[in-house]
Amino acid sequence: GWPGSGGIRGGAAMDLFGDLRRMNKRQLYYQVLNFAMIVSSALMIWKGLIVVTGSESPIVVVLSGSMEPAFHRGDLLFLTNFHDDPIRAGEIVVFKVEGRDIPIVHRVIKVHEKGNGNIKFLTKGDNNEVDDRGLYKEGQNWLEKKDVVGRARGFLPYVGMVTIIMNDYPKFKYALLAVMGAYVLLKRES
């Protein structure tokens, strides 16, 4: 009877191996779905924030030192953009200028209100010597409400440094993405 029992042991090992393979495949699918859920949840939260805040970019990172000491490079700003709110001097706005990809975070220093409710305003960085007319498109001396992406309502200091590092060093971005992807795929359910 010895050879027979050897046969049984071999069969059990094969079964176990098959189970493992099936489990790993299932676990891999599970991790991929998990990852997809994380991504879609993040997108849903972002879209929700856009609706709630009225701003197309509810969260922005300060990229330059032009607003120090109010905000520093890497601060994360939370924006709202309700069109009924009047724009006032002293307020910090994020605006986009034609011909520039990146929105600018600066303070409103002058506001002109016309009788029909039309508003024009001028901005300046707290840390800059001159106002922003040099930044606006040629021939434009004032901003209007349509140029505003949002107004600063709150901030978290330095949380956006990761974004700046990723912009300045693209290799860091790919390394970070690779590590995050590997973590999600390799993380075992405890």
**pLDDT tens-place string over residues 36-78:** 999 999 999 999 999 999 998 899 999 899 999 999 999 999 9
* Active site residue ranges: 66, 106, 132
| pLDDT at position 74 | 93
C-alpha to C-alpha distance for 107 and 57, rounded to whole angstroms: 18
> Mean pLDDT over all residues of the chain?
86
pLDDT > 70? residue 13: no
| pLDDT at position 3 | 52
Which amino acid is present at 163? Answer: T
Q: Which two tokens stand for residue 25?
A: 């495949």
pLDDT > 70? residue 10: no
Three-state DSSP class for residue 170:
helix
| pLDDT at position 177 | 84
**Cα–Cα nearest to 184, from 43, 45, 32, 41:** 32
pLDDT > 60? residue 9: no
Question: CA angle at residue 133 from 128 to 138, to 5 degrees?
Answer: 140
